[in-house]
Amino acid sequence: MKKLILLFSIFIMGAWHPVQSQYKVDRPKLVVGIVVDQMRYDYLTRFYSKYGEGGFKRLLNEGFSCENSHYNYIPTYTAVGHASIYTGTTGSTHGIISNYWYDKFERKSIYCVDDFNYPAVGTTSTAEQKSPYRMLTTTVTDELRLSQNMKGKTIAVGLKDRSAVLPGGHSSNGSYWFHGMEEGNFVTSAYYMDALPKWVSQFNESGLKETYIGMKWETLYPIKEYTESIEDDNVYENPFEGEVKPVFPHDLPELKDFNGGYDLIKTTPFGNTLVMEFAKAAIEGEKLGARGYTDFLAISFSSPDYIGHRFGVDSKEVQDTYLRLDRDLADLLNFLDQKVGKGEYTVFLTADHAAVQVPAYLKSKKIPAGYFDEAAFGNFIREHCASKWGSAEIIEYISNFQIFLRPEKLNELKLSKEEVSNDLVELIINYEGVNKALTAMTLQRTEFSHGMLSRLQKGYNQKLSGDVLWIPDPAVTSYSHHGSTHGSGYSYDTHVPVIFYGKGFKRGATHEKVEIIDIAPTISSLLKISFPNGSSGRVIESALK
């Protein structure tokens, strides 16, 4: 009997042994997350014939493209986008509900990454005191570090502070952003370190910023070949300060003093190139992908957002920006091939939001569009409250298409928040340019499974958001009549590229609906690590090998 038991045990152990030996964690040496600020999905297709073979085309043809990928919340702003990409959840959970929002506790407008507990490093400016403390959940970058007992490195770089701070997570080894004005340097804060590493200081002293600010911005190819964009001289763009018309060429040395000094670089394609060169310096300076652990490099290209806001999505400037970004991506991929090794790294590329075509331009083509006057709306609401409820002071603040009620005034007038909120919804829904309106209480009591109200709900944070919320009509924006903007839940703001490339991913594409919060769990699944602790996305199984 004992021999039978022994033989049975050997058989079971032998049966299981091959399965165990086949399972191993084979991670890439380096993960590179690329976020392009204000990139519409159709920039991939509209400019495809003008792209070279080594940038966007390489990613599309050798990687896996999710062609029906969307943001699933409102508002589609930069900070919320970067946080949602890396946490795998939305503002209702991670707490970054806008770039700026009204803080009901401090009773003032606050900025997403301001933290005055940590001095700036690399500049004397008090404007660069930053940290990710307002982001309430972990990121995929945090989880990768935790999974390796903090031995892997995370470095995050971008022109905007929020575009470096939030992707780096709470445990970033270094998040760096560009401080322009009279300095033109990459900086950080004491949250991360007490002094800049030598490689950062050397980069700041390399003279690249002088090179880029000293150039004329001319089109990469003859402007007559830019047939995918509207005429260069048009009424829908906003010229640089010091320019008479928003047309090529843009003489940067002549414009520098009128446009914030080195900050001018941000609103040119050279801002992308500067970030790309800094990312390459980070790979070398930190030895990313060469230390026996899986490292993470988060890169944010913000210049397309600055350029889109000024010139609009149909401009020659936007087209030139993407043709030049295509070259920068090719340069970066070739650098990764050399430094990390082909097949040894993983890349994903996406955007933090897309953008609407200039509403004035759409109207000129007989397409419904318009502008929402926030000041006039605020006066209308306050006048109504003064007339019906006896005081305009019921309204504490209006921002981000939300109304915050003043609780003390409601108590003083013996009014219920629910009664006043419902009254305002009935008023707002009939206001010109408004598509939907509802109370915060409705969002708390009802679960919307799809559609625009579902997106609004996913961006609503019970602790931080307002008491009444509304959604403007399609292509109706609260913005200048020149240039493009974003922030809505409509497809022109939500539809962005999502491309996976390199180790662990197939070649191919899918037309199935993918949400931006699916990126973090998909990368986590590839790395075989815990998902970010607030993650609500799903793994895109069709992309993984």
Q: Give the CA angle between residues 331, 336, 338 to the nearest 5°.
A: 95
- Say how far apart CA 207 and CA 91 lie, in whole Å: 39
> How many beta carbons lie within 10 A of that of residue 246, not counting itself?
23
Phi-psi region at 523: left, alpha or beta (left = phi > 0; alpha = psi -120 to 50): alpha
pLDDT at 25: 79
Has residue 429 got a pLDDT over 80?
A: yes
In a domain, 477, yes or no: no
**Based on the domain organization, do 314 and 404 belong to the same domain?**
no
Query: Residue 13, Cβ neighbours under 10 Å: how many?
Result: 10
Say whether 494 is catalytic. no
Structure confidence by residue, pLDDT tens digits, 181-197: 999 999 999 999 999 99
Q: CATH no. for residue 322? A: 3.40.720.10
Dist. CA 298–CA 237, nearest whole Å: 31
Number of H helices, E strands in the chain: 21, 22
Strand locations in 429-518, DSSP E? 434-439, 468-472, 476-477, 498-502, 508-510, 514-515
Q: pTM for this structure?
A: 0.94
In a domain, 479, yes or no: no
Same domain, residue pair 530 and 416: no
Sign of the CA dihedral with 244 first, then 247, 249, and 254 last: positive
Is a pLDDT exceeding 60 seen at residue 21?
no
Q: Is residue 348 part of a domain?
A: yes
Query: Does one domain contain both 161 and 202?
Result: yes
| Domain total in the chain | 2
The per-residue pLDDT for 23 is 63
In a domain, 353, yes or no: yes
In a domain, 501, yes or no: yes
- Residue 16, domain member (yes or no): no
Residue 18 belongs to some domain of the structure: no
Phi, psi for residue 53 in degrees, rounded to 5: -85, -15
Residue at 190 is within a domain: yes
pLDDT in tens, 138-173: 999 999 999 999 999 999 999 999 999 999 999 999
Q: Examine the pLDDT at 13 and tell me if it is beyond 90.
A: no
Burial degree of 57 (CB within 10 A; 0-12, 13-18, 19+): middle
> How far is 345 from 337, CA to CA, in rounded Å?
8
Identify the active-site residue in 45, 76, 78, 321. Answer: 78
- Whether residue 90 is found in the same domain as residue 222: yes
Alpha-carbon distance of 93 to 456, in angstroms, equals 13
Residue range(s) defining the domain that contains residue 417: 373-432+434-472
How far is residue 161's CA from residue 114's CA, in Å, rounded to a whole number?
Answer: 9
Domain co-membership, 495 together with 467: no
Burial-class residue 540 by CB neighbours within 10 Å (0-12, 13-18, 19+): buried
What sign for the dihedral angle of Cα 365, 367, 368, 373? Answer: negative
Kindly state whether residues 43 and 183 are assigned to the same domain: yes
Q: Within this chain, do residues 457 and 496 fall inside the same structural domain, yes or no?
A: no
β-pair partners for 514: 69
Kindly report the backbone phi and psi dihedral angles of residue 90, in degrees, each rounded to the nearest multiple of 5, phi listed first: -115, 175
The confidence score (pLDDT) of residue 101 equals 98
Q: State whether 331 and 452 are in the same domain.
A: no
CATH of the domain at 405: 3.30.1360.150
Distance (Å, whole) CA 522 – CA 527:
9
Question: Do residue 149 and residue 93 come from a single domain?
Answer: yes
For residue 15, what pLDDT is reported?
Answer: 47
**70 and 100 fall within a common domain:** yes
Residue 504: is it exposed, middle or buried by C-beta count within 10 angstroms (0-12/13-18/19+)? Answer: buried
